[in-house]
Structure 1
Amino acid sequence: MPIKILIADDDSLIREGLKIIIGLDEEFIVMGCVENGLEAVEYCLNNQVDVALLDIRMPIFNGVEAIKEISLKTKTKCLILTTFDEDEYINAAIRYGAKGYILKNNSPDKIKAAIKVVNSGNMVMQEGIIDKVLKGIDSDNSSKLNKDLFTIREMEIMQAIADGLSNRKISARLFISEGTVKNYITSILNKTSPEHRTQIAIYYLKGGNN
């Protein structure tokens, strides 16, 4: 089935350009285009959207505020597509549930590929963006992960997340239910400060306290 897309950008030229580029590909359906974060939230609440393509700087609700609401209240996956790569936006977007963060200077094929990755349940980051996230983690000594806090199974879950697996694929790898996977992730998050599975993966790959 085609991936159902919402485009949210306050620049009408960008909106229409993306609509044409993405809409020409039969693997996607552009459900709608909106010009601010609040409209994006309302659209996702009232329509079945697979992936919301969101700019960061928008009026009323910015992209980060929209992601927070959309992630909490719908099943829509959020992908940031923006010209801005400031640390504060990156970290906030990830913290509130963004499944990807890429820049507008990418080719149409790369943008469409990123949408597919996010829709599949995995995450995608612009080259260079992940370095900013890692620096943000390093700058917060209070958020360092102590592996002694975690069980062997929880470490296996973190490894699977670091490998980019969805909850369904993790359950298949470890021969446990998706509900059990979610319970383990909740337990991991309760033991440390990361608020999003992306950060779990980054902590694991960084070696915790290293």
Structure 2
Amino acid sequence: MPTTVLIADDQHLVRAGFRSLLRRGRDLSVVGEASTGDEAVRAARELRPDVILMDIRMPGMDGITATGKILAAQPTKIIILTTFETDEYVFAALAAGASGFLTKEIDPEGLRSAVRVVAGGDALLSPSVTRRVVGQFAHRPVPAAGRPGGDRLSVLTDREREVVRLVATGLSNDEIAARLVISPLTAKTHVTRAIAKLGVRDRVQLVIVAYEDGLVGN
């Protein structure tokens, strides 16, 4: 069965471009489009796609609100579309439950690969893209979504805390392994254990916890 995709963006040319690129993947199927957040919520409920490509800025309901509403009602995967130069709400969108983010300048194979990665249950946290997001948000207040009290990171070992900090700065498992002089498998194990101990969904949520609890940023 092909992976089904819903494209939500207020620009017709962007939707058409993504639709064309995705349809070149035989294992991918575009089942619908939406030009507003409200349309995205309705289309997600009716079509129940595996993955949604969600723009942030759309008329009426924005992509962040739509992301929260959709994920509160059904278990789909949402990838945020951003231009980085103008979008200031990527962190809030990820906090709302998105599985990752893409720039609208992504190359064709990168787009198809991203959809497959997220559909397979992994977070789309490309180190190169993460560094750009980290650079944008490092000196800004964390959005008010959540911000729980207490140090959730206290359940981690010192090494696990260090690994989480490196994840939040955009390093891959291989890069973390090189930095800490450990094997990539050991780095992956530390990440997996941190995710389990903190009760978060994926690497994206690890980044959010790291920022909200002051491990990095600000």
- Specify every segment of 5 or more residues in structure 2 that has no aligned partner in the other structure, as ranges: 174-187
Deviation at 1:134, TM superposition (A): 3.5
Deviation at 1:53, TM superposition (A): 0.2
In the TM superposition, 1:152-171 aligns within 5 A as 152=156, 162=167
Q: Tell me how far apart the structure 2 counterparts of residues 98 and 36 of structure 1 sit (CA, whole Å).
A: 17
* Number of the residue aligned with 1:104: 104
Contact 2:92–2:143 (Cα < 8 Å) also in 1: no
Deviation at 1:128, TM superposition (A): 0.9
Q: Tell me how far apart the structure 2 counterparts of residues 22 and 50 of structure 1 sit (CA, whole Å).
A: 14
Deviation at 1:59, TM superposition (A): 1.1
Contact 2:36–2:61 (Cα < 8 Å) also in 1: yes
1:130 partner amino acid: V
Contact 1:55–1:82 (Cα < 8 Å) also in 2: yes
* Number of the residue aligned with 2:11: 11
Q: Deviations over 1:60-86 (max 9, x none)?
A: 211111111112211111111233444
Deviation at 1:28, TM superposition (A): 0.7
In the TM superposition, 1:21-36 aligns within 5 A as 21-36=21-36
* Number of the residue aligned with 1:190: none
Q: Tell me how far apart the structure 1 counterparts of residues 162 and 45 of structure 2 sit (CA, whole Å).
A: 31
* SS of structure 1 residue aligned to 2:58: coil
* Number of the residue aligned with 1:76: 76
Task: Give the superposed CA RMSD.
Answer: 4.1
* Number of the residue aligned with 2:123: 122
Q: Tell me how far apart the structure 2 counterparts of residues 65 and 57 of structure 1 sit (CA, whole Å).
A: 10
Identity percentage of aligned residues: 28
2:58 partner amino acid: M
Aligned length: 190
- Specify every segment of 5 or more residues in structure 1 that has no aligned partner in the other structure, as ranges: 187-194
Q: Tell me how far apart the structure 2 counterparts of residues 106 and 157 of structure 1 sit (CA, whole Å).
A: 32
* Number of the residue aligned with 1:191: none
* Number of the residue aligned with 1:48: 48
* SS of structure 1 residue aligned to 2:98: coil
Contact 1:36–1:62 (Cα < 8 Å) also in 2: yes
Deviation at 1:199, TM superposition (A): 1.0
Q: Tell me how far apart the structure 2 counterparts of residues 69 and 160 of structure 1 sit (CA, whole Å).
A: 28
Q: Tell me how far apart the structure 2 counterparts of residues 15 and 22 of structure 1 sit (CA, whole Å).
A: 10
Distance of aligned partners of 1:160 and 1:56 in 2 relative to their CA distance in 1, 3 Å threshold: same
Contact 2:138–2:217 (Cα < 8 Å) also in 1: no
Distance of aligned partners of 1:145 and 1:156 in 2 relative to their CA distance in 1, 3 Å threshold: farther
In the TM superposition, 1:182-193 aligns within 5 A as 184-185=198-199
* SS of structure 1 residue aligned to 2:20: helix
Contact 2:4–2:50 (Cα < 8 Å) also in 1: yes
2:199 is aligned with 1:199: no
Distance of aligned partners of 1:102 and 1:207 in 2 relative to their CA distance in 1, 3 Å threshold: same
Deviation at 1:117, TM superposition (A): 2.3
Distance of aligned partners of 1:157 and 1:5 in 2 relative to their CA distance in 1, 3 Å threshold: farther
Between 67-76 and 109-118, the greater mean CA deviation after superposition: 109-118
Q: Tell me how far apart the structure 1 counterparts of residues 149 and 141 of structure 2 sit (CA, whole Å).
A: 10
1:117 partner amino acid: V
